[in-house]
Structure formats: structure tokens, C-alpha cells
Amino acid sequence: MASFGAQVQTAGLSIVVLDAAHGGTDPGARGTGGIRESEIVLDFAIQVRRALELQGFQVVQTRQGNENPSFDDRSATANAQRGAVFVTLHISSTGMQGTARVYVNSDLTLVADSNGLIPWDRAQGPFLGLSKTFGDLVQRFLAQRFKGSPEAAQTASVRQLRTTAAPAIAVEISSVTVEDRADLDRMAPGVADAIARGAAAFKPSYVVSNTPGALP
Amino acid sequence: MTPRWKFLLAGGLIFVVLAAAIYFPILRRRVKRTAKLQQQSEEQARRELTQSVVINPGDPRVKTKLFWASDTIDSTLVPVTVELPLSNDPVLRSKQVLNTLLAGPVDVELRTLPPDALLLAFYLLPDGTAIADFSEALATSIPSGIVSEQLAVNSITRTLEANVPQVQRLKILIHGQEMETLAGHLDLTGTFVVSTKAASPAASDTPAAPISGALTPDKTPGRLAQPEHGP
């Protein structure tokens, strides 16, 4: 169970928890040219981090090397923060080259007991509305940069997002099937800028209790 | 003990050690081979059971919508209408439409599911929850990624929604086991909403009127299935 205590004071958005997906024994999507999702997202994370720091955010990464924390460990990193959003970075195996999609979790049945305790496995439930707002903002900036990308965030049952008690999005870039890795590397600054601008634009919408992992 | 007996005993021990050294690797190979054969037999049995659910030409021919990838809009689904003889029994009918979906469209580029994936079992609970058990290939051969995994699940749920009104929710198992994700992204721990409409037993007894023509792609793009996590 995740604890959601009394909501007295509110905290502003100041932290972005950045998750480079996969890692360690899990390479994620693999391209024919030896491109590994786990390596590229880590490189992307470096640029995203810089862009976020320029916007005044503190950045916490779920991994900085070739490790593979569990889904729950990655969520726990986010759930321990106050005033945070969560962004998980992915590279797909399919989809139109040079596009980027933002996903937010699909509807989750909200179940809380009389003490306001929300089961860990549905921690994202209370944040779905904020996640959608955040996701739409980031997707809008991505669509401006990368033609063919959707205009609004899409819903999907992404496992990593479900246990995260914060506004949370997955950003997936297409794809590892590029012939030259440089094609993906060239997208990194645009992706970083879109996420950072999206997070900055989301700041006024972010109103949650200052309790770690608190309900919005 | 005389030196002769000591010699014989030592010789005997050396013989036993040598025999064991030769025999153990052979035994290990045999055990591995037996285990592999057992696994293959299990898979073969499952295949045979799966293949026993074939299209019965005696069943009424029904306009059937199958959801495969669009060739014009990136990462979306389009319904393709085919005329198939389908059973009125919802479980048999589900197996028939899913096996046809797994067989894939004429254009292999529009597949949403791996060509080697099999439907091993299908159950339907009284509350409308269906359980579909697929072979490991569904998880191991599918391209990894949110978009490809979501497209695969959506093609299954939308095909069931369009053809088997009794199915309200779908739980996906891989080789009889609950998996955390399909291929690293999509959550398989919950059930996927197939249809929000109430089950209508009468609908299953009245198959749609047969139409002429086959493989008629509609233009409506697919939408995302909504997962559901029960309490």
C-alpha cells in the first residue's frame, strides 16, 4: 500500500524523475544494425536532463548506467519524491521513422480504504487526469518538432506507469529500425526540448499535497 | 587383505569411476532429450487441440470483422470484413475468429501478431470475462515497444468485440502463466475491456446475415483497448 496522508500544504512541481527504460540484461528493442533501446534511451536521458535543468528542474534518474531496476524500484524512486513528475523514455521497434508518441496510462479502477490508502499496483489511478494534461503538453511540443507525430497523448496500459504515484508519461521514439543510429541521435535535442518545455508548461497545473506520493 | 585383493579392489574402483565418468554425461544428455521431447509433446498436443478447432463448413456463414494494421495510417487498426462459417457457441466462435486473426492478412506487412503464435486455450466465464492462453511466441516474437504491443492486444480485443458479444473483458495468459508484460511494456496483469455493452445471449444465436464478397477493408481506424484492474 502507498500512504496518502492528510493534505494540508501543497507543493509545486520542482522535480522530474527520468527513467531510461530497460538496461542490464534487458536490452529492450533491438535493431538489425545492433542498435539497442537500452543504450539509446540512456543517451537521450542525458540530453533530456540538461534541458530540464535549464528550465530549473531538479532531475532524478532511475538509472545512470547499464542496470535494470525492476518496474517497482523505478516507481519507488518517483513515489519517494515530493513535487515530482515521472517520464519514462522508450524507443520502439515499429512506427513511422522520426516520430514520437506520448502515452499515459489507461483508466485504473480507484480503490481506497477509509484511511485513504491506495494499493501500490494502482498508484497511478488518482493522477490520470494530471498525467493526461502533462502528456498532451509534451506531445504538442513533440508534434511541432517531429512531423507525423500525434497531436495529443494516447492511452495505453504501460506497466511502468501503473505503480507510479505522480503525473507520469511514457515517451516512445520511432524506431530502432533506422539504418544509421545517427538518425535517432539527431532526434535527441528535439525530444529533450519538448519534454522540458512540456514540464515547464505543466507547472501551473500541478497542485498536489506536499506528502510524498500524495493524491492530487 | 592380501596385495592381490587390494589390487583387485583398486582396479574395481577405477573401473566404477571410469564407467561413471562415461555414463553420467550420456545420462545427462538422455534426461535433457527426454525433457525436450516431453516439452515438444506437450506443445504438439496443444497444437493438435488448437487445430481441432477448425472452421466447420456446416456453420452459418457470417460477416466477420478482423482487425489488422492499416496500410495507410501509421500504427492504427482497420477492420477487414470476411465471410466465415462461425459457430454460435461463443467459445468455439472466439477460437475460430482468433485463429483466423493469427493466420494473418494476405499482406504480411499488416500482421499485428507474430506468425508463429498460437492460441492454446480459450475460456469464457459466466461474468463475460474471457481468458485467452497464447503460446510463448506471442511474447517472444512480437516487436518490442508500446505501440506494437498495444496494437497486438487491440487487434485481439477489437476482433472479439466485433464478433463475440458475450465477451466483456479479456485476460491474456502466455503458455498458461500470467505475465507482467507482453514484451516489456504492455501490462498483462489486469484484464482488457472488450465491450462495455451488456452480454446479449440472443445475439449469439442470430448470426449476422451472410454477405457476398470477401476481404473488405473498412476505413475506420482502430481505437485503444482500455485495461481494467479489478479490486
- The yes-or-no verdict on residue B195 having pLDDT over 90 is no
Cell numbers found for residue B35: 525433457
Q: For residue B72, what pLDDT band results from cuts at 50, 70 and 90?
A: confident
Does residue B36 lie within any of the structural domains?
Answer: no
Question: What DSSP line would sit under A17-28, residue for residue?
Answer: EEEE--BTTB--
pLDDT at B205: 34
Does residue B1 lie within any of the structural domains?
Answer: no
Please compute the mean of the pLDDT values over residues B102-109 and round it to a whole number: 90
Q: For residue B39, what pLDDT band results from cuts at 50, 70 and 90?
A: low
A106 interface with B at CB cutoff 8 Å: yes
Cell numbers found for residue B30: 538422455
A163 interface with B at CB cutoff 8 Å: no
Contact A93 B187 (CB under 8 A): no
Chain A residues inside the 8 Å CB shell of B222? none
Which of A18-27, A68-77, B55-64, B80-89 has the least mean pLDDT? B55-64
Q: For residue B219, what pLDDT band results from cuts at 50, 70 and 90?
A: very low
B189 interface with A at CB cutoff 8 Å: yes
Cell numbers found for residue B117: 503464435
Q: How many domains does chain B have?
A: 1
B179 lies in which domain range?
61-228
Is the sign of the CA dihedral B72, B74, B78, B82 positive or negative?
positive
- The yes-or-no verdict on residue B3 having pLDDT over 90 is no
Does residue B52 lie within any of the structural domains?
Answer: no
Contact B145 A172 (CB under 8 A): yes
Does residue B14 lie within any of the structural domains?
Answer: no
Which of A108-122, A131-145, B189-203, B205-219 has the least mean pLDDT? B205-219
Is the sign of the CA dihedral B58, B64, B67, B71 positive or negative?
positive
Does residue B219 lie within any of the structural domains?
Answer: yes
Chain A residues inside the 8 Å CB shell of B230? 109
Higher pLDDT, A109 or B181: B181
Contact A94 B147 (CB under 8 A): yes
Backbone angles phi, psi at A140, to 5 degrees: -60, -45
pLDDT at B51: 52
pLDDT at B223: 42
Contact B226 A107 (CB under 8 A): yes
Q: For residue B220, what pLDDT band results from cuts at 50, 70 and 90?
A: very low
Give tens-digit pLDDT for A87-112: 999 999 998 999 999 999 987 766 66
B185 interface with A at CB cutoff 8 Å: yes
pLDDT at B42: 58
Contact B145 A162 (CB under 8 A): no
Does residue B11 lie within any of the structural domains?
Answer: no
B214 three-state secondary structure: coil
Contact B186 A157 (CB under 8 A): yes
Closest Cβ opposite residue A170 in set B143, B146, B224: B146
Chain A residues inside the 8 Å CB shell of B226? 106-107, 155, 157
Contact B148 A157 (CB under 8 A): no
- Mean pLDDT in chain B? 81
Contact B79, B223 (CB under 8 A): no
Please compute the mean of the pLDDT values over residues B149-173 and round it to a whole number: 97
A143 three-state secondary structure: helix
CA-based Rg of chain A, rounded to a whole angstrom? 16
Contact A90, A37 (CB under 8 A): yes
Contact B143, A91 (CB under 8 A): no
- The yes-or-no verdict on residue B120 having pLDDT over 60 is yes
Closest Cβ opposite residue B75 in set A28, A37, A95: A95
B223 vs chain A: nearest CA distance in angstroms? 10
How many other CB atoms sit within 10 Å of the CB of residue A16?
25
* Nearest chain A residue (CA) to B76: A95
B145 interface with A at CB cutoff 8 Å: yes
For chain A positions 167-206, those within 8 Å of chain B (CB to CB) are 170, 172, 174-175
Q: What share of chain B has pLDDT > 70, as a percent?
A: 75
Full set of structural domains in chain A with CATH: 11-209 (3.40.630.40)
The CA distances from residue A32 to A108, A153, A178, B136, B218, in Å, are 36, 29, 9, 22, 33
The letter for the amino acid at A26 is: D
Evaluate if pTM is beyond 0.90: no
| DSSP H or E segment with residue A8 | none
Does residue B27 lie within any of the structural domains?
Answer: no
| DSSP H or E segment with residue A88 | strand A84-91
Closest CA to B162 of B44, B62, B65: B65
- The yes-or-no verdict on residue B221 having pLDDT over 60 is no
Residue B165 CA to residue B145 CA, distance in Å, equals: 30
Beta-carbon contacts of B11 under 8 Å, excluding residues fewer than 6 positions away, are none
pLDDT lower than 50: segments of chain A:
2-8
Does residue B84 lie within any of the structural domains?
Answer: yes
Give tens-digit pLDDT for A19-51: 999 999 999 999 977 899 999 999 999 999 999
Beta-carbon contacts of A192 under 8 Å, excluding residues fewer than 6 positions away, are A44, A47, A48, A50, A51, A52
